Amino acid sequence: MDENVVIPFPQNAFESDNTDQVTGVEKSVYQTLENINALFEKFEDYTGPDQRFTENWNEFRGLVYRQIKESKCIKSEAAQDFPSREASLKVYFETITSTLKEKDFSYCAWEIVRKEILHTLKFILDVNSNVKFLR
């Protein structure tokens, strides 16, 4: 990679100070999974450099899709703090998408996206063990 791309991480979308904010965090996690799925849907027929990569790619997409399906009831729950969390996530995923487009969907661009998504999912798992559908 010739250059570093800075994509500000929306940490505030996944943190809670009290139990009243847990639903907002759960909705943020759900929204993140939906955003990841939407990003990858654009490249549904993507095949990687080899069979193993393609199998891993498809397995990951299947896991994300299953989590979305199994937890979609969270969408109907109310959370006063969710709009601000949702706005942060929107900017984050728009920036990721812009990076892909600016770099012409190159290997480098996908590597940036891969690292961002891994960082996001790791943060969610490390900080939010109390999220219902992650248990």
* Position 3 in a domain: no
- The answer to whether the beta carbons of residues 61 and 40 sit under 8 Å apart is yes
Asked whether residue 82 is domain-assigned, the answer is yes
**43: Cα separation from own chain's centroid:** 16
Q: Residue 86: what pLDDT?
A: 95
pLDDT at 103 over 60: yes
Question: Per the domain annotation, does 30 fall within a domain?
Answer: yes
Ordered alpha helix ranges (H), 1-135: 22-41, 51-70, 82-102, 107-127
Q: Is 1 a member of any domain?
A: no
Phi, psi torsion values for 127, nearest 5 degrees: -95, -25
Going by C-alpha positions, the residue among 52, 48, 44, 39 that lies closest to residue 107 is 48
Domain that holds residue 100: 11-134
CATH code, domain with 57: 1.20.1250.10
pLDDT tens readout for residues 12-40: 999 888 877 888 999 999 999 999 999 88
- Which residues, other chains included, contact 54 with Cβ-Cβ below 8 Å and sequence gap of 6+? 47, 48
Residue bearing tokens 């791309």 = 5
| pLDDT at position 28 | 94
pTM: 0.85
Give a yes or no: residue 76 inside a domain.
yes
Query: Residue 131: its pLDDT value, please?
Result: 62
Instruction: Please tell me the total count of domains within the chain.
Output: 1
- Tell me, yes or no, whether 22 lies in a domain: yes
Report yes or no: 97 and 73 within 8 Å, Cβ to Cβ.
no
